[in-house]
Amino acid sequence: MRFSYTAVTRSGERRSGVLEAADRRTAVAILEKQGLVPVRIAEGGAPAAVEEERRTAEPEKGSAVASPQHLKGRKRPRMGMRELLIFTSELSDLLASGMKLGNAMATLARRKTGRPRDVIAADLRDEIIRGSSLSQALARWPESFPQLYIAMVRAGEASGQLARSLETLARHYERVQEAREKVIMALIYPAIVLSFGALVLVCAMVFVVPRFTAIFAELGGTLPLPTLILIKISRFLMRYGAFLLLAMIAGVYFLRRLIRTPQGRRVWDRLMLRLPVVREIVKANAFSHFARTLGALLSSGVPVLEALAIVEKTVGNAVIAEEIQRARGRVTDGATISGPLAAGKIFPQLLTDMLAVGEESGDTSGALTHIARRYDAELDRSVKVLTTVLEPFLILVMAVLVGYVAISMLLAVFDLTSGLNV
């Protein structure tokens, strides 16, 4: 059978022609052996260059896939952490199995999951077919692929170990996701206790206390001080509760906006590093992320200064990031990292000593891996301490508040009923 084809070379040059093959699959194999990436193969003897140029210049009708140029004026798709992890794992597995990059991206683009990665995978496929490298294509989607991701892919392309770099990235994001889930899971139970406790208190103040207040008014007499305070709080909530709720929502909104500013972020992160118990979680998470990210970058062949610049932007704490920036200013290629880090007051001596040992032995990335494991274990312990302290503390607070409401009502009832018996 005769097949007309359009393909691109590794350098991005477009070629069209006709070949003889038993079937379409054989035709694809012949083109790949020639170092070509097939774009279109059709039965027949006429070259398909004109048709293919029209197809690539215009989006298909009814297609849900749109490149960034077609998304102007619309919200661009964005992959979350879990989607990014799935995408990276699948692409790494496809490349490790021996599949070419263009074919691997085409395979991912054909999957219709209904998620943002459908659009992004299709655009990446189109860019690679046009001759772009994977790192160049990823750079078109900075909302989904951070600098760390692009730098490691670029290093993998330069070393010819793209599949290995993607595997390293997948492991990195798995551990980041695990650390994030540990903290979230630890806070779920306290959040439930606090939410239900607050709901019970609000219902008591809005529905229960006013009914008792009406009964007390009919009976007359002098109410105890705790009951009077409780009644005043109840009246305040009934009169100004809606405004108080709006004020709280506005306060949270403006606080989030403030934290997004550089100065506000710095103040917030500094506060997190000073709060008891919380600071241990923040530090352990930041140091673990620092070691894991820096180790992954260095093992992939990224230069030291570039790796530190990427870690500075991804460490997640402005105060620690500033310390990394100061250390980076004292580091030159070939110099140690541990010395400049130890000169500051943020990084603990244990971390810098372990890093110095790795630098002396010539296994810096291995030392960073051990450091990451060390602070992962520290993060686990800190989270357990937080939950151990927070859960009984919240239960005690809610018991005191609910108990105050109950006792205040009972005191008034006892006083009034004792007066009636006299």
CA distances from 198 to 52, 204, 236, 318, 389 (A): 63, 10, 16, 33, 19
Superfamily name and number for 190-422: Type II secretion system (T2SS), domain F (1.20.81.30)
Higher pLDDT, 43 or 11: 43
**Reduced to 3 states, what is the DSSP secondary structure of residue 220?**
coil
In the prediction, which pLDDT does 187 show?
80
| DSSP H or E segment with residue 301 | none
What is the 3-state composition of the chain as percent helix, strand, coil, each rounded to the nearest 5? 75, 5, 20
**Which whole number is the average pLDDT over 171-182?**
83
**Run of H or E residues at 260:** none
Put residue 28 in one of left, alpha, beta given phi > 0 → left and psi -120 to 50 → alpha.
Answer: alpha
313-328 mean pLDDT: 87
Cα–Cα distance measured from residue 339 to residue 202, given in angstroms and rounded to the nearest whole number? 55
Domain regions of the chain by residue span: 2-58, 71-173, 190-422
Query: What's the residue count for the chain?
Result: 422
Q: Are 170 and 88 in contact (CB under 8 A)?
A: yes
User: What integer pLDDT is reported at residue 247 of this predicted model?
Assistant: 94
* Model pTM above 0.75: no
| CATH no. of 71-173 | 1.20.81.30
Statement: residue 250 has pLDDT above 90: yes
Q: In the 8-state DSSP scheme, what is residue 224?
A: P
- Say if residue 239's pLDDT is above 80: yes
Half-sphere exposure of 406 (CA within 13 A, CB side): 7
Residue 106: both structure tokens together? 């085409």
* 347 vs 76, more confident: 347
* Amino acid identity at 273: L
pLDDT at 370 (0 to 100): 92
Place of tokens 């541990």: 338
Q: Token pair of 289, please?
A: 């992320």
pLDDT value at 253 more than 90: yes
Dihedrals phi, psi of 83, to nearest 5 degrees = -65, -40
Q: What is the pLDDT of residue 47?
A: 43
Q: What is the rounded distance in angstroms from the CA atom of residue 213 to the CA atom of residue 250?
A: 32
pLDDT surpassing 50 at residue 61: no
Highest mean pLDDT (candidates 36-45, 124-133, 351-360): 351-360
